[in-house]
Amino acid sequence: MAEKKKSNLLKNLVFLVILIGAGVFLFMQYQKRQLIMRENAATELFNQGNNDGALAAYKQIHGRLSGDDRARLGGKIALCYTTKAEDPGLSVKEQVVLYKQALEYDKSCVTDPRLLKLIEGTE
């Protein structure tokens, strides 16, 4: 009888561990899905030409990511900054500031050597 109680207790304990593990897994998947939906919404803002809105949304997500996802999103943030910097109505000084901000997120976003020299010269 004592063995049966131990057996039932062990089964219940294993079931509880599996149940908790499944709950944690589902919660993590839900969080990941929410981040994907936010990134898609930010990308849609960027595609509509709303660089400021997309930039704010990307930055909000960027801090919650790590590894390759963080680097990929950093590239999107840099693209927002470079797109803003290419506005012909901005002064050169304003453009340089935007390019510097882009380089903070993605070192490969500015490839023109003359532009890089100009950015380095203002530091």
Summarised one tens digit per residue, pLDDT across range 8-26 is 888 999 999 999 999 999 9
Total structural domains within the chain? 1
**Host domain of residue 20:** 2-121
Q: Look up the pTM and report it.
A: 0.77
- CA pair distance 97, 85, nearest whole angstrom: 8
CATH number of 29's domain: 1.25.40
Instruction: Return the C-alpha torsion angle 31, 32, 37, 40, nearest 10.
Output: 150
pLDDT tens for each residue of 102-121: 999 998 888 888 888 888 87
Joined tokens for residue 103: 């380089």
Confidence check: pLDDT of 1 > 70: no
Residue listed under structure tokens 């599996």: 18
Q: How confident is the model at residue 30 (pLDDT cuts 50, 70, 90)?
A: very high
User: What three-state secondary structure class fits 8?
Assistant: helix
Of the candidate ranges 3-7, 77-81, 82-86, 107-111, the one whose mean pLDDT is the lowest:
3-7
Angle ∠(46,31,55) on CA atoms, nearest 5: 20
Q: Contact at 8 Å (CB) between 85 and 104? A: no
Q: How confident is the model at residue 114, as a pLDDT?
A: 81
- CA pair distance 34, 122, nearest whole angstrom: 40
